[in-house]
Structure 1
Amino acid sequence: MARILVAEDDPSVRAFVVSALTMKGHEVIAEEDGGLAAETMEAEGGRFDLLLTDIKMPVMDGIALALQVGASYPDVTILMMTGFADQRERAHGLDALIYDVIAKPFTLADLLAKVDDALNGVPVEVVPLARRGLQ
């Protein structure tokens, strides 16, 4: 299975995501902010298949983390998550760098399907933000 680095500041969301991905058989390392995730990515030499990061976090947000990881480790797939529509719009300019943004709250099935798609390189369906519930 895949090696996944999770960056999420909300302890309950982080625990949910780690549990779901671990049960699916992935090797998961989780950090509570983008700064720690960047340090872990560096310490591991970019040896991750996927970075799953929240956008809005203290220390270093997911946008800055994605920019840093994308520049240093372009083979790492980046999937972002957010519960804020304005943060989703901030990520829109990163289309060439990130795989997609998953909207919170998400179900276990939604999370696992999106992670599988990202790892398998399945093209993202272009869906208007209004249909995703992000206006």
Structure 2
Amino acid sequence: MARILVAEDDPSVRAFVVSALTMKGHEVVAEEDGGLAAETADEEQGRFDLLLSDIKMPIMDGIALALHVAAKYPQMIIVLMTGFADQRERAHGLDALIYDVIVKPFTLADLLAKIDDALVGKPVEVVSLGRRALEQ
């Protein structure tokens, strides 16, 4: 399975994501903000298959973290998470660097499908109430 770095400032979302990915068999390292996640990526010399990061976080947001990781570790797949439409729009400027954005709230099935598809490189359109609401 994959080695995944998670950056999420909300403790309940972070615990849900870590639990889901761990139950799926992935090795997960989780940090509470982008700054700590960037430090972890650097300390580990980019030895992660995937970065899953919230966009809106204190210290260093997910956009800055994605830019940092993409510049130093271009082999790392980047998936961003957000519950805010304006933040999702900011991420679209990174289309060449990120795999996709998963919209909060997401289900366990949405999360696992997105991560599985990112790891095998197949784009998938995860349809959820959150995504539909943002696109209207």
TM over 0.5: yes
Q: Residue 22 of structure 2 corresponds to which residue in structure 1?
A: 22
1:4 matched to 2:18: no
Percent of matched pairs sharing the same residue: 83
* Residue of structure 1 in register with 2:80 after alignment: 80
* Structure with higher helix content: 2
Partner of 1:32: 32
RMSD: 1.7
Number of the residue aligned with 2:64 = 64
- Residue 110 of structure 1 corresponds to 110
CA distance in 1, matches of 2:52, 2:131: 23
Aligned length: 133
Unaligned runs of 5+ in 1: none
Letter of the 2:27 counterpart: E
TM-score using structure 2 length: 0.93
Q: CA deviation at 1:134?
A: 1.1
Q: Which residue of the partner structure matches residue 45 of structure 1? A: 45
Take 1:109 and 1:131, find their aligned partners in 2: how far apart are those partners? Answer: 14
**SS of equivalent to 1:93:** helix
TM-score, normalised to structure 1, is: 0.94
Task: Give the secondary-structure state (helix, strand or coil) at the position aligned to 2:18.
Answer: helix
For 1:6 and 1:16, the matched residues in 2 are separated by 11
- Residues 103 and 131 of structure 2 are in contact (CA less than 8 Å); yes or no, is this contact kept in structure 1? no
- Structure 1 outlier segments of 4+, above 6 Å: none
Letter in 1 for 2:34: G
Q: Per-residue displacement from partner, 1:78-134 (whole Å, max 9, x unpaired)?
A: 000000000000000000000000000000000000000000000355x9xx96321
SS of 1:71's partner is helix
Partner-residue secondary structure (3-state), 2:133: coil
The superposition leaves residues 26-65 of structure 1 with CA deviations (integer Å, 9 ceiling, x where unpaired) of 0000000000000000000000000000000000000000
